[in-house]
A and B are shown apart, each in its own frame.
Chain A
Amino acid sequence: MAEIFVNMGELKVAAGDDVLITVGLGSCVGVALYDPENKVGGMAHIFLAASRDGKSTEQPGKFADTAIPALLEAVVRAGGRRSLLVAKIAGGANLFPKLSQASLNVGMQNVAAVKEHLAAHKLPLRGEDVGGSIGRKMILYVESGKVMVQSIGSEPREI
């Protein structure tokens, strides 16, 4: 078993008994996309809703519009069946509600964009833990397809 960490703006895939982890989700949205039958999954740590021109060559994982298609392609290339893929998402918080006018609530925009792009690619959303004003850690156990979300000061919860 390997623990694979997905950093801010990255996307990674794993198979078998590997575990994909992303920490420090604030306004960012973590997306877990997996094929429960073939036990292949991927995770993206999405930073903003939209890239400047619909493409980010260096880091497709950074933006919802580039990350969802790139994650889908990566999971399929790793052996996932497109028709079996399901998604779960976490994050999209607003850690500085007092400044929400200044920062225009990036978290909510990120969640909306991720949902829009998942729907556009016909990827069913099976679970979510989004919003609020707390940071999150997201873990995908690829073998079981189990997705856990953790925040400081509360018990881990399955979504």
Chain B
Amino acid sequence: MSGKERLTPMQLDLLRELGNIGAGNATSALSVMLQDRKLEMVVPEVAILSLPETTTLIGGPEALVAGIYIVISGDVDGHMAFMMPIDSAQELVQSILGVESVEFDEMGRSVLEEVGNIVVTSYLNALAEMTSLVLIPSVPGLAIDMAGAIWSSILAGAEILDDYITVLKTDFSSERKQIEGHILLIPGTTGFDRFFKILLETDR
């Protein structure tokens, strides 16, 4: 699954389609929470990269970001992350709570975790609905730290042994509230073939 050679152009298209559907649902959930219709989603990209190359997906590795990490199990396994620059995370929590400033104490952190949880489960729900597969998200984990440390920990959690890693990435941004971030999905080593199979059948 993670090998460069193992994905056909059709599978790449299907992954992109999955990203589109999942991220579309995730961004609309976020728009509702923010009461902001101007939330824009960039067309999802499927990146197949070597481990060092994946750092380019998340911007500067030293930047302070908030990252929410969820492990997917069930019919299909995988790893999902929702990452935002720290000022975006602040803006997000402020506009949800309707406050002028926010600190990442217990309260701020749990709001952020919950937002991440909703975004990720919205993404997964769209995929589950489309394929009738069972996708079970873990509890959300939150880290506020260097982007590189968060990202590498998520990749390590995915236990990628292959030389190349497949990542579905969607960027979103909101002009009005100056919030931006990425939703990332790392398909697991088993089970993703089921997605392909079901999607190919429904396409016909």
Minimum C-beta distance from B144 to chain A (A): 8
> Which of B40-48, B50-58, B120-128, B167-175 participates in binding chain A?
B50-58
B138 touching A102, Cβ below 8 Å:
yes
List CB contacts (< 8 Å) of A84-100 with chain B. 93-99
B156 touching A27, Cβ below 8 Å:
yes
Q: A99: nearest residue on chain B (CB-CB)?
A: B141
In the complex, what distance in Å separates the CA atom of A135 from the CA atom of B152?
A: 10
Q: Which residues of B contact A10 (CB under 8 A)?
A: 52
Given the contacts A99-B138, A136-B149, A47 and B155 also touching, CB distance less than 8 Å: yes
Minimum C-beta distance from A57 to chain B (A): 8
Given the contacts A8-B52, A47-B51, A102-B157, A26 and B149 also touching, CB distance less than 8 Å: yes
In the complex, what distance in Å separates the CA atom of A62 from the CA atom of B50?
A: 11
Given the contacts A96-B141, A99-B71, A99-B138, A27 and B161 also touching, CB distance less than 8 Å: no
In the complex, what distance in Å separates the CA atom of A98 from the CA atom of B55?
A: 24
Given the contacts A56-B163, A99-B69, A135 and B148 also touching, CB distance less than 8 Å: yes
Q: Annotate A60-74 by CB proximity to B: 1 below 8 A, 0 otherwise.
A: 001000000000000
A24 touching B161, Cβ below 8 Å:
no
Total count of chain B residues near the partner, CB < 8 A: 33
Q: Which residues of A contact B62 (CB under 8 A)?
A: 23-24, 137
A59 touching B145, Cβ below 8 Å:
no
Where the two chains meet, the residues of A that have a C-beta atom closer than 8 Å to any C-beta of B are 7-10, 23-28, 47-48, 51-52, 56, 58-59, 62, 93-99, 102-103, 106-107, 110, 133-137, 152
13 A-B contacts (beta carbon < 8 Å): A24-B149, A24-B150, A26-B153, A27-B152, A27-B156, A51-B161, A58-B50, A59-B163, A93-B149, A96-B69, A96-B141, A97-B141, A134-B145
